Structure formats: structure tokens, C-alpha cells
Amino acid sequence: MNSRLRKLLLVLPALLAALALGACSDNSHTKVTTGTYAGESGQNAPYLDVGPLTYEVQLSRQLNPTNSEDSSYLKGLTAEEAKLEPGQEWFAVFLQVYNHGSVAHTASTSISISDTQNNLYQPILPDQTNEYAYRGGEVPANGRLPILDTTAAFGPTQGTMLLFKIQVVSLDNRPLEVKIVDPLDPAEYASAELDV
């Protein structure tokens, strides 16, 4: 084997390792209109572009009403809303919404989740005493939801919460998928699989 080939064989593994490391970046997010949520606290969660705004699923999970943290997410429900039927449980999706533009835009209020059997769930909106609830509304220019210095922004997920009553069987029909519809053009939407 000639010396040039030997040098190449010695350098090649180092070069391949350097290329592999270079392919990894500090930005673990992907800008997409569909995607798979693949981490906790937003790590590897897709940024979903819907109209002029960008939505990021921070976390999605079941809620336990007897847990002190989770009970605060269930605040502001009427007695009827708070009642779970047999086979139902609470499920929450925590979002951040970003406006990178120079004018304010309205965030979507048409957000749903579904399972692989096409069971569709719409969120329940607690009253104003629930400081975590996602309400849509205006996202200021170069701003975000939840607005900084709010309870939701300082909360464990740092996101606003969409609250759902789902059938327990839907957890067997995973992945669940969130769908966010553009309020300016209902034909446009983005979706992502949720991590449960």
C-alpha cells in the first residue's frame, strides 16, 4: 500500500467525524408545516408556520386533577366542564406563538387534536381565573404568547395551555396530532404529532 493511500485512510475517519459533528447544530428546532414532536420542554419540537405566525408545541401530556401543579391548569372550569365521564381524562397542549413581523397579528383559535382513528377533540376554554389558558388574541409585533412577565410565561412549560377532554382509548390510538388553522385562510393549516 503506498504512503499516499495510507495517509488518506488515516485522515478519512477524522474527516468523517468532523463532518458528522458539523451536521449537528445547536438549533434543535426545525421550521416546518408538519412534523413530529420529539422531546420535552420544546427540544426538537417543530416550529409550525401558520399564516404570519409561528407556533411551537412546548409540551403535551395527560393531567392529573389530584396533582397540585395540574390542578392549577384546571382552574376556571364550570362544574359541568370539570366533570369527566367514565373513559375520559384531561390532556393539555402547551404552546408558544411567535410574531417575527413588524405589525401585530391574531393567533389562531381554531386548534384541535385527533388520534389515528380520526377522533377529533376541541379545547375547553376555562374562564379568566385560569392564567395558563390559551385564548388566541393579538400577538404584538416582534412579540410572543404567552406575553413575557405573565404566569404562563413563568410556568413550568413557559407556554399557554390548550385543555382537552379526551377518551382514554385515544392514548392507545397514538400518535395524537395537533392541527392549527390559519385564522386568515381556513384552507391553510399546520399539524404535528404530539409526544404523550
Question: What CATH number is given to the structural domain containing 82?
Answer: 2.60.40.1240
In a domain, 141, yes or no: yes
Residue 10 lies in a domain: no
Residue 8 falls inside a structural domain? no
Per the DSSP assignment, residues forming a β-bridge with 49 are 54
Rounded to two decimals, the pTM is: 0.78
Residue 19 lies in a domain: no
What is the greatest pairwise CA distance in the chain?
82
Per-residue pLDDT of the chain (196 residues; tens, 9 = 90+): 565 555 545 544 444 444 333 333 333 333 344 444 433 444 556 689 999 999 999 899 999 999 998 999 999 999 999 999 999 999 999 999 999 999 999 999 999 999 999 999 999 999 999 999 999 999 999 999 999 999 999 999 899 999 999 999 999 998 999 999 999 999 999 999 987 6
Number of domains present in the structure of the chain: 1
Within a 10 A sphere around the Cβ of 111, how many other Cβ atoms? 21
Pairing of strands 46-50, 30-32: parallel
91 lies in some domain: yes
Any domain includes 9: no
- The answer to whether the beta carbons of residues 161 and 133 sit under 8 Å apart is yes
Residue 67 belongs to some domain of the structure: yes
Decide if 15 is inside a domain.
no
CA terminus-to-terminus distance, the chain? 55
Q: Tell me the residue range of the domain where 136 lies.
A: 26-193
